[in-house]
Amino acid sequence: MTDNQPLLLIVDDDPTFCRVLQRAMQRRAYDVIVAHDVASAIVLADTQLPEYAVVDLKMQGASGLELVKYLHQLDEETRIVVLTGYASIATAVEAIKLGATHYLSKPANADDIVAAFARTEGDADLAVSDQPLSVDRIEWEHIQRVLQAHEGNISATARALKMHRRTLQRKLSKYPVKE
């Protein structure tokens, strides 16, 4: 690690994605450390406090939201971008409440991430869609809210939704419906 380059922690369970993003961020003058799960990321963050973090939301084991909370508690100045292929309104709101700087849906490139680190305020000029959400998207959002309310517990969420656990698991294994 060099003293003049900011330290970036990348946490994602996809090793190929991590390697590609690591190289791209190193070209943008970041020192980069990588973890593939929340537990490893916590160990790294405890030994080398990152100034920036890119955290995948859905990984084996603990959720990226737990890591966002942990990193924010370690240092409120850490700029955290949550990056996920499973974007939902519920998880975006929770990520920001827990201390994330920004929330991006995959695919996002290194330039998108650097821009997200730099954002300090919301965008009041963001266009509001004239189209309502589809029924499938509303179902996805509702499942995500209930799952979040039950702290990621699939069985409790299935009971709350009056749905068979396997049915819920099938729905969760799919990417969210596009808006």
pLDDT over 70, % of the chain? 88
The verdict on 91 and 65 lying in the same domain is yes
Average model confidence (pLDDT) across the chain:
86
Q: What pLDDT, on the 0 to 100 scale, is given for residue 133?
A: 66
The verdict on 23 and 62 lying in the same domain is yes
> What number is the average pLDDT over the span 123-133?
63
Secondary structure string (H, E, C) spanning 4-52: CCCEEEEECCCHHHHHHHHHHHHHCCCEEEEECCHHHHHHHHHHCCCCE
Q: Looking at residue 160, which CATH number applies to its domain?
A: 1.10.10.60
Determine the structural domain holding residue 82 and report its residue range: 7-118
pLDDT tens for 137-179 read 778 778 877 887 787 888 999 999 999 999 988 888 776 656 5
